[in-house]
Structure 1
């Protein structure tokens, strides 16, 4: 029997049971759509994370207290970074352009009858250029504010809208932890970073933050939460990291494990990529289970089809059809069901990716590899799970089958 004739007969057999064929395809459709959509969502999340880190500013390094072991085993990180460390880096590391130490805390911020719990950052004037934060109205923190422990504050755009609406907030006073502060500026909208809204924050002089809001908590000086460093250029990042690590080891008299960690943007992106990549694989693996279920459904329906078509198989064998002919026809039926289901599932999966991209900040990323893999796997599943029913049909004794006529 010619291959095209087998395809024609398989197609005709599937069309004669449209509802059953459609329900058989459904598992494959759902499996393919899930795999493609999950891979696309995972890659979109990875792209979003990369864009957010790039938006932080060029050629950045992040110095945080504690080493990797500390960050894994303790809830409260050691207070090992101080303002003097940042000042020493700015003076003594030639590969560094600017240094921006900061103190992070969540505090109660209020204006008149409105109260909210938000992020409060104690910063220096270098924070704005290093992190590419721009002022929309008024001004940012200045050196004179640090020297005077000035009670001034710069508002994130959403906090300004929440407290003042359309009114000009400059010159108004808000309270942070019962300390009255004059509003001197409003930042441009910056958006979210890794799920944290950067526009829901207020910025104080670092010295004011340390002396009047959180207090001095380190015995070695004015403790800071993180030091952000801008290298002179992309080629200087490696040198800057090496020089900073050596300087801090000297300053902290370290002979064993470091009590700090220096991360470059590339390091952080690599960590984020590993996490999002692992999540993508996990989501795709979970979605692939439905492909397996769909394959079992194909096998079940094909077994039912063999039972129902026993007389047809016996008649065809009596008229000269070989075992190979019967085997080919049932295998082709199984592959057609799986392949068509794979194509339909691919279309639905791609549509789902575009829909998610339209209603969320995730980028719409279509992975050709995931499409080829999903369609190929669905066809392979049809072939694999179709073998057993097809062999049963091919090995059917024509005499036994014809007795049922």
Structure 2
């Protein structure tokens, strides 16, 4: 039998039973849409996490106080990092480009009658390089500001807007813990990183922060919350981490457990990427169950169709149709159901991914690989689950089929 003729006959048969054909395709439609949407959302989550990590800076190492074991305990971390540690890293580690010690606190900032809760960051000028920050107006804190303990502050864009509205903040004064600070600059918008809105930060000289706002609380020197280090290039990350760890062990006279932890930006990216990748795989597997269920639905309906069309099958075999002709006929019908269902499901899945990308921070995109896999799997399911009913139809004895019809 001609394949084109078989396709025409299959289409005519399916169109004659529109409701049954539609309900049969429903499982494939839902399965395809789910697989494509889940993979697209998962890939969007991976891109989002990658962007969040990259927004922390390029080729960055983070040095935090306490060993990994100490950080896992629900207590305040030990105050083991000081400004002198950061200065030693900048001077003695050749692979380092910039070092930004940070002393963080959350305080109420006041301008006239406006009070805004802000994240205060005591740091040095190198934070511009380490965290990829830019100044929109005015200037940033300088080394001279650090040496003189100047009472100056550079505001994040959103913080400046909440405090000053449409006024120019540069040159104005704000108060914090009874300390008056002159606004010297406003930063370019940076956005949020892992829930931390950097546009609500206020940057002050580290010395001013330690001496006038938080006070000195470490017996070893001027305490810092953590140290961010920008390495010259990606190839030097491992060497820089090794050199920093050895330098801090010497400075802290460590013979047993480290009282600090160096975190690699690339390691953080790999950990978060593996987590989001596993979640994407799990979501796709759950969605794939819908495709399997849809395939079973196709098999059930095709078996019902064989029973209903026993007379037709017997008549066609009686006038010369071979078992192969009958087999091809029913397989084509199953493939058409799965292919059409797959196409509709693909369209719905793409639409869902685009909606998620439009109304959420996830940079969800449609993966060509996901579409190819979903459509290929749905077509394969149609073929796989359509073969058994087709073989049942092909093996019918024409005499028995005509007698039982």
Asked if TM exceeds 0.5, the reply is: yes
User: CA offsets, 1:352-403, max 9 Å, x none?
Assistant: 4344444445445432322221111111221233234334434445455434
Give the match's secondary structure for 1:291: helix
1:260 aligns with 2:265: no
Residues 46-85 of structure 1: matches in 2 within 5 Å? 46-74=46-74, 76-85=76-85
Long gaps (5+) in structure 1: none
Output the CA distance in 1 between the equivalents of 2:325 and 2:71: 65
Output the CA distance in 2 between the equivalents of 1:189 and 1:115: 21
Aligned pair count?
405
Partner of 1:6: 6
Partner of 2:94: 94
Output the CA distance in 1 between the equivalents of 2:310 and 2:257: 75
Output the CA distance in 2 between the equivalents of 1:118 and 1:294: 54
Partner of 1:140: 140
For the Cα contact (< 8 Å) 2:128–2:134, is it kept in 1? yes
Give the match's secondary structure for 2:115: strand
Per the TM alignment, residue 246 of structure 1 is displaced from its structure 2 partner at its CA by: 0.8
Partner of 2:374: 374
Output the CA distance in 1 between the equivalents of 2:363 and 2:62: 27
Output the CA distance in 2 between the equivalents of 1:62 and 1:334: 57
Per the TM alignment, residue 244 of structure 1 is displaced from its structure 2 partner at its CA by: 0.6
Per the TM alignment, residue 187 of structure 1 is displaced from its structure 2 partner at its CA by: 0.9
Output the CA distance in 2 between the equivalents of 1:29 and 1:42: 20
User: CA offsets, 1:176-211, max 9 Å, x none?
Assistant: 355443322211112233443221221122233334
Partner of 1:325: 325
User: CA offsets, 1:91-133, max 9 Å, x none?
Assistant: 2212222210002233333434443434221211221233221
For the Cα contact (< 8 Å) 2:31–2:345, is it kept in 1? yes
Per the TM alignment, residue 404 of structure 1 is displaced from its structure 2 partner at its CA by: 4.8
Output the CA distance in 2 between the equivalents of 1:356 and 1:30: 17
Q: TM-score, normalised by structure 2?
A: 0.88
Partner of 2:173: 173
CA, structure 1 residues 99+29, in 2 after alignment: closer, same or farther (shift >3 Å)? Answer: same
Q: Which moved more, 1:306-315 or 1:171-180?
A: 171-180
For the Cα contact (< 8 Å) 2:129–2:230, is it kept in 1? no
Output the CA distance in 1 between the equivalents of 2:48 and 2:359: 14
Output the CA distance in 2 between the equivalents of 1:295 and 1:180: 71
User: CA offsets, 1:223-277, max 9 Å, x none?
Assistant: 3222111223444333222211110121223334433232333223222322222
Per the TM alignment, residue 298 of structure 1 is displaced from its structure 2 partner at its CA by: 1.9
Output the CA distance in 2 between the equivalents of 1:78 and 1:387: 68
Output the CA distance in 2 between the equivalents of 1:288 and 1:41: 15
Partner of 1:344: 344
CA, structure 1 residues 313+179, in 2 after alignment: closer, same or farther (shift >3 Å)? Answer: farther
Output the CA distance in 2 between the equivalents of 1:308 and 1:390: 13
Give the match's secondary structure for 1:199: helix
Output the CA distance in 1 between the equivalents of 2:377 and 2:120: 51
CA, structure 1 residues 69+24, in 2 after alignment: closer, same or farther (shift >3 Å)? Answer: farther
Output the CA distance in 2 between the equivalents of 1:292 and 1:212: 66
For the Cα contact (< 8 Å) 2:122–2:205, is it kept in 1? yes
For the Cα contact (< 8 Å) 2:116–2:162, is it kept in 1? no
Output the CA distance in 1 between the equivalents of 2:237 and 2:196: 26
Output the CA distance in 1 between the equivalents of 2:328 and 2:73: 60
Partner of 1:39: 39
1:189 aligns with 2:189: yes
Q: TM-score, normalised by structure 1?
A: 0.88
Output the CA distance in 2 between the equivalents of 1:395 and 1:76: 76
Output the CA distance in 2 between the equivalents of 1:118 and 1:301: 64
CA, structure 1 residues 7+220, in 2 after alignment: closer, same or farther (shift >3 Å)? Answer: same
CA, structure 1 residues 145+304, in 2 after alignment: closer, same or farther (shift >3 Å)? Answer: same
CA, structure 1 residues 89+7, in 2 after alignment: closer, same or farther (shift >3 Å)? Answer: same
Partner of 2:203: 203
Partner of 1:156: 156
Output the CA distance in 1 between the equivalents of 2:307 and 2:260: 71
Output the CA distance in 2 between the equivalents of 1:377 and 1:89: 55
1:16 aligns with 2:16: yes
Q: Which moved more, 1:35-44 or 1:143-152?
A: 143-152
For the Cα contact (< 8 Å) 2:55–2:193, is it kept in 1? no
